[in-house]
Amino acid sequence: MNEIYEILENIFPYTWIEYDFMKNALIAVLIITPLFGILGTMIVNNRLAFFSEALGHSALTGIAIGVILGIFDTNLSMIIFAIIFALFLNKIRRKKAIATDTIISVFSSFSSAIGLVILSRGGNFSKYSSLLVGDILSITNLEILYLVIIFIVTLTFWCLCFNKLHAISVNEALARSKNIHVNLIDNIFVILIAFIVMFSIKWVGILIINALLILPAASSRNLASNMREYHLFSVLISLFSGILGLILSYYNNTATGPTIVIIASIFFFITLGISGKVK
């Protein structure tokens, strides 16, 4: 860890990097924002924005369940609940007979309300309010290790299965006729989203996590004309917003997550303007 710290100090010779918590935060940003950029591409393509939003909200319920069951590490209950919730929502989403957005919305509000009710028992909610906005400066070495593992798993999945995932998003029946395991790949994808959302929620915050997943990919769509450009721009925009947001939030003493979202949003509007001129 110390070696990485040294490298960071050499790359960024500024005062803000002198604190260990800032170094940790920077490492977290460098790992997680590219992931947001990559996953976002298919979340936008598959019109899953609603879905990932609901998933973010389910974090409250997961924690609440952990509190009730008396589990020491509420992260565990949060992740397990999120995975079950993700698979469940995905099943509903694939049943095309029902108006999906409405149903997802209902379950999302229901589960977050349950979470809020349980967590606010006895007026104790302030203990959990940091979850709403997140706090990147609190990230620990162990959590960074988790992020690295997720990073590797996601990239592996993406390299091995991206084509199949893309094929499924275009047309399921066609994908199935090419012997692609539609349900399996799709479920792995939503489980991955669940993992990443849950691991980043603590420092990004429930309120805005979805923005970080959607905005880079949405901006990239305005510029890209094929899958390679789509991913490249999305990752770059995400990474750049992340780093700049972290630094700005340090100097202005603001919450980091929202600062990143503001920068990513500005990117979106700029790219929208550019695409309007080009196309």
> How near is the Cβ of 50 to other proteins at its closest, in Å?
15
Helix (H, G, I), strand (E, B) or coil at 222: helix
Within the chain, residue ranges assigned H as helices are 2-11, 20-45, 49-69, 74-94, 100-119, 130-133, 141-170, 172-177, 182-204, 209-223, 227-252, 256-278
> How near is the Cβ of 108 to other proteins at its closest, in Å?
23
CB nearer other proteins, residue 24 or residue 33? 33
| Cα atoms in the Cβ-side hemisphere of radius 13 Å centred on 161 | 21
CB nearer other proteins, residue 97 or residue 142? 97
Please state, in angstroms and rounded to a whole number, the distance separating the CA atoms of residues 279 and 277.
6
CB nearer other proteins, residue 101 or residue 172? 172
The answer to whether 115 and 63 have CB atoms below 8 angstroms apart is: yes
> How near is the Cβ of 165 to other proteins at its closest, in Å?
8
CB nearer other proteins, residue 115 or residue 216? 216
> How near is the Cβ of 224 to other proteins at its closest, in Å?
4
> How near is the Cβ of 232 to other proteins at its closest, in Å?
9
CB nearer other proteins, residue 124 or residue 156? 156
> How near is the Cβ of 223 to other proteins at its closest, in Å?
8
CB nearer other proteins, residue 118 or residue 181? 181
Query: Which residues of the chain form contacts with other proteins (CB under 8 A)?
Result: 41, 45, 47, 158-160, 162-164, 166-167, 169-178, 220-222, 224-231
> If you count them, how many residues does the chain have?
279
CB nearer other proteins, residue 45 or residue 120? 45
> How near is the Cβ of 244 to other proteins at its closest, in Å?
24
Please state, in angstroms and rounded to a whole number, the distance separating the CA atoms of residues 112 and 108.
6
The three-point CA angle 84-239-32 to 5° equals 30
Helix (H, G, I), strand (E, B) or coil at 234: helix
> How near is the Cβ of 147 to other proteins at its closest, in Å?
21
Helix (H, G, I), strand (E, B) or coil at 133: helix
CB nearer other proteins, residue 64 or residue 161? 161
Please state, in angstroms and rounded to a whole number, the distance separating the CA atoms of residues 215 and 143.
25
What residue type is assigned to position 142 of the chain? L
Give the 3-state DSSP-derived string for 192-220, with helices as H, strands as E and coil as C: HHHHHHHHHHHHHCCCCHHHHHHHHHHHH
DSSP 8-state symbol, 46:
T
Please state, in angstroms and rounded to a whole number, the distance separating the CA atoms of residues 222 and 76.
38
